A and B are shown apart, each in its own frame.
Chain A
Amino acid sequence: MGIAVEGACKRFGDFQALDDVSIDVPDGSLTALLGPSGSGKSTLLRAIAGLEDLDAGQVVINGQDATATPAQKREVGFVFQHYAAFKHMTVFGNVAFGLKIRKWSKPQISDRVHELLRLVQLDGLAERYPDQLSGGQRQRMALARALAVEPQVLLLDEPFGALDAKVRKDLRTWLRRLHDEMHVTTIFVTHDQEEAMDVAEQLVVMNQGRVEQSGSADDLYDHPANEFVMSFVGEVNRLGEHFVRPHDMDVVLEADERTEEAMVQRIVALGFEIRVEFVLGDGTEVWAQLTRAELQKLELREGQIVYLRPGQIKSFSGDVPSSDGRGASTPRDPEGDDDAEVTAAA
Chain B
Amino acid sequence: MSVQKIFQAVLDYEEEDVAELVQAEVDAGTDIETILNEGLISALDVVGEKFSKGTLFVPEMLMAAEAVQAGLEIVRPLLVEKGTKAVGTAVLGTVKGDLHDIGKNLVGMMFEGAGFKLIDLGTDVDPEEFITAAQENDADLILLSGLLTTSMPEMEKAIAAINEANDTRNLNVKTMVGGPPVNAEFAERIGADAYSVDAPTAVEDARAFIAAGI
* A and B interact physically: no
